[in-house]
């Protein structure tokens, strides 16, 4: 199969499997699948407020999806989105709250976003370096770092950063806050547009630049790429570094565009969900936007029908998508 045919094939199989498993889970929970799917779609795509919430949910998934797609291209697996997001969100909130008053809004947003990218990138770089230079499996390292970062963030918060008895840092100044899109009171903010821009930028990076070429060659055959004289090791650490930064942008989205502070547990699960998004999109940067919208609909719709079906149904469906993608990924390698 050609690349495009394979992408469509995977998407169709994944959606059919999702619908089948979802329907079974609905029946087991005592709900009528026809009614439940209808409600799920109506309350997400059928009304402005619901669709705004879908956009709000899809925005960070674009970032964490890209954070999985970039290393995947270079043959590495980034399951550290959770920790990268957390580190970035905390750094972003702390720096933004400390910005001098009177700073013009674009500059404040730019600085806070850059801090988030850098904080995520540092975590990504550490994971990549452990893998490349110490031979430690990147999945185990990333899971360990996820736990360590969550614990350290909570400790820092409780020790000095959280305000009063809350588990929330100080509110960032208005200049650093991203305006909402104004979709019927939904939480969708301007960061949705930022996600589109970043996806386009990553698509260009992967397809048209030297480093993108090196990543692709590395992912297709490590030894061949090394024999061809490509800087394989450095490129792979860079792939994890950029990935960490991209996941960090999801943290900036939550802090600057929604909560206007760091809260304990902010964005939990979004890093993992990025894996399903990236795999459904077969690692294609622009297709990630569509995949993120699918999971935005599922997540928001799952909430809409949660009185009939436990909302964790969506987590199971996410796993179904990843399983379908795993089968496709394995076959492609042979």
The least CB distance from residue 184 to other proteins, in Å, is: 29
Place of tokens 């850098």: 118
Cβ contacts of 322 within 8 Å, gap of 6 or more: 275, 276, 279
Nearest-CA neighbor of 244 among 29, 20, 89, 37? 89
The least CB distance from residue 52 to other proteins, in Å, is: 25
Q: Which is nearer to other proteins, 194 or 302 (CB)?
A: 302
The least CB distance from residue 182 to other proteins, in Å, is: 33
The least CB distance from residue 30 to other proteins, in Å, is: 8
Please give the residue ranges that form the binding site for other proteins (CB under 8 A). 25, 28-30, 77, 79, 130, 134-137, 139-141, 143-145, 147-148, 151-152, 154-155, 158-159, 272, 275-276, 279, 310, 312-316, 318-320, 322-323, 325-331, 333-334
The least CB distance from residue 312 to other proteins, in Å, is: 4
Q: Which is nearer to other proteins, 159 or 210 (CB)?
A: 159
Place of tokens 């999806």: 65
User: Judging by beta carbons within 10 Å of its beta carbon (0-12, 13-18, 19+), is residue 289 exposed, middle or buried?
Assistant: buried
The least CB distance from residue 28 to other proteins, in Å, is: 6
Q: Which is nearer to other proteins, 86 or 191 (CB)?
A: 86
Q: Where are the alpha helices (DSSP H) in the chain?
A: 3-28, 33-45, 48-73, 81-98, 105-134, 138-156, 191-208, 210-220, 222-227, 232-254, 270-280, 285-304, 313-333
Q: Which is nearer to other proteins, 155 or 204 (CB)?
A: 155
Cα-Cα-Cα-Cα dihedral sign, residues 294, 300, 305, 306 = positive
Q: Which is nearer to other proteins, 28 or 98 (CB)?
A: 28
CB atoms within 10 A of CB 123: 29
3-class state of residue 80 by DSSP: coil
Q: Which is nearer to other proteins, 95 or 132 (CB)?
A: 132
């Amino acid at each position: 199969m050609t690349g495009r045919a394979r992408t469509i094939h995977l998407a169709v199989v994944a959606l059919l499997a999702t619908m089948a498993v979802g329907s079974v889970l609905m029946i087991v929970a005592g709900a009528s699948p026809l009614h439940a799917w209808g409600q799920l779609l109506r309350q997400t795509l059928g009304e402005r407020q619901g669709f705004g919430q879908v956009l709000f949910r899809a925005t960070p998934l674009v970032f964490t999806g890209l954070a999985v797609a970039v290393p995947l291209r270079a043959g590495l697996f980034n399951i550290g989105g959770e920790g990268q997001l957390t580190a970035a969100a905390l750094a972003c909130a702390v720096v933004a709250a400390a910005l001098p008053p009177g700073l013009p809004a674009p500059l404040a947003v730019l600085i806070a976003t850059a801090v988030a990218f850098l904080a995520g990138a540092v975590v990504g770089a550490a994971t990549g370096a452990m893998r490349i230079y110490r031979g430690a499996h990147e999945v185990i390292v990333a899971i360990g770092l996820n736990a360590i970062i969550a614990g350290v963030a909570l400790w820092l918060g409780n020790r000095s950063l959280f305000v009063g008895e809350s588990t929330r840092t100080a509110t960032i100044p208005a200049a650093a806050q991203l305006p909402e899109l104004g979709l019927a009171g939904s939480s969708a903010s301007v960061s949705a547009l930022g996600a589109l821009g970043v996806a386009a930028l990553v698509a260009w990076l992967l397809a048209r630049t030297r480093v993108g070429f090196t990543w692709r060659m590395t992912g297709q055959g490590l030894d061949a790429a090394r024999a061809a004289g490509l800087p394989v090791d450095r490129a792979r650490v860079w792939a994890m570094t950029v990935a960490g930064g991209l996941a960090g942008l999801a943290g900036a989205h939550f802090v600057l565009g929604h909560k206007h502070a760091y809260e304990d547990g902010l964005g939990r699960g979004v890093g993992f969900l990025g894996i399903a998004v990236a795999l459904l999109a077969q690692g294609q940067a622009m297709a990630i936007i569509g995949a993120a919208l699918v999971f935005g609909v599922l997540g928001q719709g799952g909430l809409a029908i949660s009185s009939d079906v436990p909302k964790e149904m969506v987590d199971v469906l996410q796993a179904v998508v990843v399983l379908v993608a795993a089968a496709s990924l394995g076959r492609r390698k042979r």
